[in-house]
Chain A
């Protein structure tokens, strides 16, 4: 029986430590992990909890991230509650098994502490790894600070293990900016946290020898399509379930989450759409511009990246006039992911706001408040002109000559 861990009402935790405590409180059966910066402390802290007797579950050290996720798949198929953590190259090495996990409908929780992908080698935060995983069939949640890294982990178990979903869930947080920044965090008590997450209920577990089952079977053109379609349907249909879990979480924590978070958007003319800590920094800039420059600025952020909140983001952006979609990932010869997905969503409403794309913060490059204000000012210019006055894609905070691409075609 695990020892009781004394918690204060307010702790000063970084995002990694917050995630470790959430895993401890969820009474995970198996953590199989291979540490990598900046997610290392999630694994390190959890290992310490195990060594100190605060955890009853198993901690499995493996030889690679591919093995870590494979261990998670095995343990989840056997019938256990399973979690792990990784970043960047480690995540890249896991990718093959990520698709296996979602295809086998195993509710594993993965803490993805976002970091740039090499080359050049870089340990700092951007969203390259998050974007790499977005078609893997996982539910993807995004935390904007350490408190949310804790909260999203608890919600992740509830969402992934829900009988109508049974899918793995990634919890993203910004490498270093969240993972290594200590802030005030209000944890739930161990009892309340476990009560919220609930007892693990296995489905088709391999350790039930009275009912043998197969995982990872082969299907060719006869059934593969049907499997993948069902998986997609489960993801899309997860939307109301996620909303219910967030509503339940509000009851125990007082903290309300939504599939799409909106700040200062009621009368907003110009809106930044972003992910991670940028969402919070942009709120500061939006408030400043409202108070000092009369720019009606707002911020919209997908809390749930997958299933992509096509419906909710459209509603959130319906009444604005210009949108800056900010992508913290090298777009690899295209417009950024948020630009593409947000544009597609708002293309289906008649107001058709002007959407532009900002690439920023690669490899941990600081995004300053002044830069965010300038983006809002750009957007305001677009509103006043009635068309996109800048290039459609701009790089922000880059050394050297301005890098920007594509123009609006006006007849």
Chain B
């Protein structure tokens, strides 16, 4: 089972991102779970979303998890959230930031011994450039595909298009661009 934890602010699309990822992954025959810890959270409040992916039907419903991937889609949350909570020796981090990786890690003591498992990109800038709004969830999906190597990029894009099919072509195209740029820029 692969477990993913998203750190986000309400309104940035972590739930949509987690569900979108679930939608795409389900088309490959795998079983998925996408959920979030929120309720009456107001826009801008820190929140977490989660994915589980497995070959068998997922019947665990505990919120607690030991994540394989931690996806941080708001730059400030890397500093204010406990992003290394319940991590493992193999947990990979993908963090959105305008800083370089060295600069970011130097400011986050808890990441210093995990540097080889930290990956960065600027989801905010990518989504502003491509989608025109600060919606960092779509770029994060592109970065996740690269780092997890779960799917080939073309395959993922093709499936994502189907998931987005009810949206206008312009929105589909800009989301595709965001995913491709993020895939290429994450490091």
Contacts and interface: CB of A to CB of B under 8 A. Distances in A.
Interface of A: 10-12, 37-38, 123-124, 145, 174, 176-178, 180-184, 277-278, 280-281, 283-284, 364, 366-369
Given A176-B35, A183-B31, 14 more contacts: A10-B26, A38-B39, A177-B61, A180-B35, A180-B36, A181-B61, A182-B22, A182-B23, A182-B32, A182-B33, A184-B31, A284-B59, A364-B39, A369-B64
B35 A182 contact: yes
Contacts of A145: 59, 61
Contacts of A284: 59-60
B34 interface: yes
Nearest to B27: A10
A16 B58 CA distance: 18
B24 to A, nearest CB: 9
Contacts of B34: 12, 181-183
Contacts of B40: 37, 123
5 contacts: A12-B26, A176-B39, A181-B35, A281-B59, A367-B61
Contacts of A181: 33-35, 61
Contacts of A124: 39
Contacts of A37: 39-40
B131 to A, nearest CB: 22
Nearest to B36: A180
Interface in B65-113: none
Interface string B14-46: 000011001100110001111110011000000
B33 to A, nearest CB: 5
- With a 10 A CB-CB cut-off, give which of A10, A124, A184 has the most chain B CB atoms: A184
Contacts of A184: 26, 31-32, 57
Contacts of B170: none
B33 A183 contact: yes
B60 A369 contact: yes
B154 interface: no
B33 A366 contact: no
Contacts of A277: 61
Contact of B22 (A12, A280, A366): A12
B62 A368 contact: yes
Nearest to A283: B59
Contact of B62 (A182, A283, A367): A367
Contact of B60 (A38, A178, A182, A280): A280
B64 A366 contact: yes
Contacts of A368: 62, 64
A184 B19 CA distance: 11
A230 to B, nearest CB: 39
Contact of B32 (A12, A123, A178): A12
A258 B183 CA distance: 47
Contacts of B32: 12, 182-184
B186 to A, nearest CB: 25
B62 A281 contact: yes
Interface string B118-132: 000000000000000
A124 B40 CA distance: 9
A10 B40 CA distance: 30
B55 to A, nearest CB: 12
B62 A366 contact: yes
Interface in B125-143: none
A301 B57 CA distance: 19
Nearest to A366: B63
A268 B26 CA distance: 34
Contacts of A366: 62-64
Given A12-B22, A177-B35, A183 B58 contact: yes
A367 B18 CA distance: 22
A277 B132 CA distance: 40
